[in-house]
Chains A and B, each alone.
Chain A
Amino acid sequence: MAVGKPLRQLGLNSERVLWPSKGPGKFETEIENLEQRVGLTTLEKAVAWAHSKSMWPDTFGLACCAMEMMAIVSSRYDIARFGMEAFRSSPRQADLLIVSGRVAHKMAPPLRQIYDQMLEPKWVVAMGACASSGGMFNNYTILQSVDKIVPVDIYVPGCPPRPEQLMEGILRLHEAVQAGVPPAYEIRSVAS
């Protein structure tokens, strides 16, 4: 991830300014060779890269979607390629909350408590139709979308979504993180 410009284009004054016909000095040539081998970047981008490459999910499987969430850990879909096979049971150690399944009214306080116990930065993926919007259950007991109580970054539709669909959602989250999009709790609140 080199910045892509040699130092002289960044306005570094050197003897060349005073001596226009002189080419790059020994020091500058060494720096150029070094740039080609070492990534130079800003601190934010480095941190975002680290966040996205080892974003550990929390075990929050509620219903049918949890089966497909377990399938992404299995050998065919293998989320370990993206550094995420370590599902942490404790929310204190987790970065990503994949709400997989229908959230009943009774489960809403534990869900919010788990979310609050996670440390920043934290992301939420609403997996499946029930977590995204209540799904086929528009009734007295199912929360019509989990974004009523926690701010959600990515919604993955499906009933249940295929493991590949969930991975697509997670990878788009990684791209968003690397592009510098802040987690949902910074840019939006819960739905009304």
Chain B
Amino acid sequence: MAIAPDRPRAAIYDGSRIPQPVPTVLHVPEELRATGDVLQVNFGPNHPSTHGVLRLIVDLYGEEVVGLEAVVGYVHTGFEKNMEQKTWWKAITYPERIDYLAYQNNELVFVLAIEKLLGLEIPEKAKYMRMLLCELNRIHSHLIWLGTSALELGAISMFWYCFRERELVLDLTEMVAGTRMHTRYFQAGGLAEDIPPGFYAQCRTFCDWMPKAVDDYERMLSRNKIWLERTRGIGLLSREDAIALGQSGPVLRASGVDWDLRKVQPYLAYDRVDFEVPVYPDGDVYARYRVHIDELRESTRIVRQCNDVLEAMQGEPWIADDRKVVLPPRHELHTSMESLIHHFKIVTEGYRVPEGEVYVTIESPRGENGCYVVSDGGPKPWRVKFRAPSFVALEATATCMRNAYVADMIAIVGSLDTVMGEVDR
């Protein structure tokens, strides 16, 4: 016996639902406003369910959302201007804090941009380790997403389960880089330090444990009646709308577009590891959830493969040999005058990156994370601009929110997987 009548599950729509004239704002229709029953509510910047400081000004007609506008900028940090003041080396600490759940991916995109401008080749070991850490970071990001999204929809215990695995991921990161978050482990040229020997065994233990943990999550949510009711048919976004709105990452793949930059535009060594890209055609919150769960499994596969490759590569160099950019090993400073001069120049002045502009994109857990760097040939960046996938994902809120109830709004905003640090930069 059903407690409440089942809502008919909406299917993916034809045509476009992007609001006009402003694509990111839902306007209240005039006839509704004339009834006088429309209530404007502020989902203010301090709200438990808005994943950070997002402000939504919502017009409600009863329980239905008829008007929506997103106001952002509450954690605007001025990253791009700050990075123009620092040398290239020091500036690498900044991108990590932009998307603070996927900090390695942000570091990676900036460091890849520097290396592209420099034309620097990095050793294989650095490529695989960067890939391993970025996939661990993807697991970390998806775990937090899953924990907090489920928490908001009422599946409170998911938070503790996901954070238990998050601690395992952070243990691995701490072992390698010395700190849990914001590791600053990537340098232009490779990695900052070698990989500690105990890492491979612990990583293998993690890879053996993680699929069982994902099975646990699926057992709790994937066929849970309440979860299905609250996520299926909610927040629909069709293929064409998703592409027109610039969506990428899990949101795009949940709308049926088989697009993953790791497969179509492989960077690092993604063309040499074996993994699948989950794509679901439904375009609703449940499809995005399924994409995230499947990506957790695929990332564990990639981590396992990278770990095996890296264990065989012990003793190889972890950073490039170009002394104009990379610090020489310390033991050389005692004997070689050139090394001392290189060390001095790199530490005081910083290395110079040749003049040019590049735009590098990678697949971060949220989608296409891009970095546009303009260099004037000097020791500091001239302009750095980050393409944040969450910034673009929030533009799709108005489209996803057609015919939605207030309770669905929480599910939809959560499913777009936004990180406000990235939106506001």
Contacts and interface: CB of A to CB of B under 8 A. Distances in A.
Check whether chain A touches chain B (CB < 8 angstroms): yes
B166 interface: yes
Interface residues of A, number: 34
A107 B100 contact: no
A184 interface: no
B182 A162 contact: no
B66 interface: no
B167 A107 contact: no
Contact of A106 (B74, B144, B159, B163): B74
A168 B102 CA distance: 27
B48 interface: yes
Give the interface centre of B75, B82, B148 by most chain A CB atoms within 10 Å: B75
B82 A76 contact: no
Contact of A74 (B73, B78, B94, B159): B159
A136 interface: yes
Interface stretch (B39-47, B193-201, B245-253, B406-414): B39-47
Contacts of B209: none
Interface residues of B, number: 35
Secondary structure of the A side of the interface? loop
A62 B164 contact: no
Contact of A64 (B76, B93, B97): B97
Contact of B75 (A87, A102, A139, A160): A102
A137 B52 contact: no
B88 to A, nearest CB: 16
A101 interface: yes
Contact of A110 (B46, B167, B182): B46
Secondary structure of the B side of the interface? loop
A81 to B, nearest CB: 14
Interface in A52-80: 59-64, 66-68, 70-71, 73-76
Contact of B52 (A61, A75, A87): A61
19 contacts: A59-B48, A62-B52, A64-B182, A66-B52, A67-B144, A70-B163, A71-B166, A74-B164, A75-B164, A76-B167, A89-B48, A102-B75, A104-B76, A104-B424, A139-B78, A139-B82, A140-B78, A141-B78, A160-B180
Interface of A: 59-64, 66-68, 70-71, 73-76, 87, 89, 91, 101-102, 104, 106-107, 110, 114, 136-137, 139-142, 159-160, 162
Interface of B: 44-48, 52-53, 73-78, 81-82, 93-94, 97, 100-101, 103, 144, 148, 159-160, 163-164, 166-167, 180-182, 420-421, 424
